[in-house]
Amino acid sequence: MPEAYPTPLAGQRLTASLLRSMQPQVARKTADTPLAATTTTTADPHLQFTLTAGAVYAWSGWIKYDGATGGDLVVAFAAPAGTQGSWGGHGVGSTIIGATSTPTLEIDTSRANGYMIRPESNDVTQLRTYGCLGVGNFLTVFLNGTLRVGATGGTWSLSWAQSVSNATATTLYTDSYISLQRIA
């Protein structure tokens, strides 16, 4: 059975607060964020939400990035204690397949010829690495997942870094976004 939150009752007064709670929340990057020479994931300053204890959410998003070949992009999520769920991202795998490589699909392994795409399902805070083709060669990752918040609400954020420390920054670009909808 489809889920919706909240479920208005007959005769219930419709308030601005109730109507807002029915709409998806959208966090959009309003500025580019570069990270250089770091492999420690950091919460993105724009892609964050406050989650309610006991709530269930469905979410999706899109990030645009670039960086040095070999620096790559690590994507993870920070969530309140007790939060469960899973996420997936469809983006270029790591190591990038070059024009002279024979295309090969790899299942949760990395070899010299690399991943074509990373479609695995991940635990709510598990990280994944996506490849870079060099500065100015923009790539995207389409993200989606679910969150089941435990007894403690708090901040949920996209956290990211470079896979391999590189002096050339990996950058997440303006207009990358995540849309979050409470469903229960």
Going by C-beta distance under 8 Å and a sequence separation of 6 or more, which residues neighbour residue 92?
115, 116, 117, 118, 130, 131, 133, 139
Q: Dihedrals φ, ψ of 35, to 5°?
A: -130, 130
pLDDT tens, residue by residue, 27-67? 999 999 999 999 999 999 999 999 999 999 999 999 999 99
User: Apex CA 60: angle with CA 22 and CA 181, to 5°?
Assistant: 15
pLDDT tens, residue by residue, 157-175? 999 999 999 999 999 999 9
pTM recorded for the entire structure: 0.85
Pair 96, 69: CB distance under 8 Å: yes
Quick one: how far is CA 175 from the chain centroid?
A: 14
